[in-house]
Amino acid sequence: MTIKFTGNSRQEAVDVALAQHFNKPDTCQLTVRLWLDSPSVGDVDGDGSADAEDGWKSEPFRFRHSDRNPPEGVPVTYLGGSHDNGHRALSLGGGMIRSTDAGGTGKVATVPLAWPEQNFGVHYVGWSETMDGLMIPTSRGERVDKAVTLIRRAMKDAHTGSERMQDLRIALNALLRIPKA
């Protein structure tokens, strides 16, 4: 059996999630999928909506965890809610998550793990090492993760031209030092 992976590592997903401040309301499953660069699992339970509940149902049992200590960069899942769609967010580690609509409708925010239970009427069921059935790599390698972070920072920060070029040189040098497979 071939194991397939999400497109982003845990650290990359955290970086992408922290950079996003707005979301289309009621798109938690889609947004977390995009942060992890994972394809949709679709409407697993046939209720007409590809939602957080479908995402959780697609995770292999051996990769699901019910404890309240999810590591950073993994999806956390809550079930229930007013339309029974549940909720999905991304763990930042240390009991914090990045969640859609947590800053108000259409606003992504960093909140405690228990926040969706207290505000969305859902109950926490756990976290998974997978997203829609695909493994989430813990890392792409320390040097690659560092280079990607530096490149993203250089591309988004409001540096002067010379500072941006220095960040890009550092990132590119880090990539060049990666041994060939």
What confidence score (pLDDT) does residue 112 get?
98
Identify whether the C-beta of residue 57 lies closer than 8 Å to the C-beta of residue 45: yes
CA pair distance 110, 116, nearest whole angstrom: 11
What is the Cβ-side half-sphere exposure of residue 155, based on CA atoms within 13 angstroms? 10
Between residues 88 and 148, the one the model is more confident about? 88
Kindly report, as residue ranges, where domains of CATH 3.90.1720 are found in the chain.
10-135
The angle subtended at Cα 81 by Cα 27 and Cα 105, nearest 5°, is 45
What confidence score (pLDDT) does residue 5 get?
85
Q: Specify the pTM.
A: 0.78
Condensed to tens digits (0 to 9), the pLDDT of residues 109-129 reads 999 999 999 999 999 999 999
Q: Which residues have a Cβ under 8 Å from the Cβ of 94 and sit 6 or more positions away?
A: 72
Residue 180 has pLDDT above 50, yes or no: no
CA pair distance 73, 10, nearest whole angstrom: 4
CA pair distance 90, 146, nearest whole angstrom: 20
Question: Which class in CATH covers the domain with range 10-135?
Answer: alpha beta
First to last CA, the chain: 22
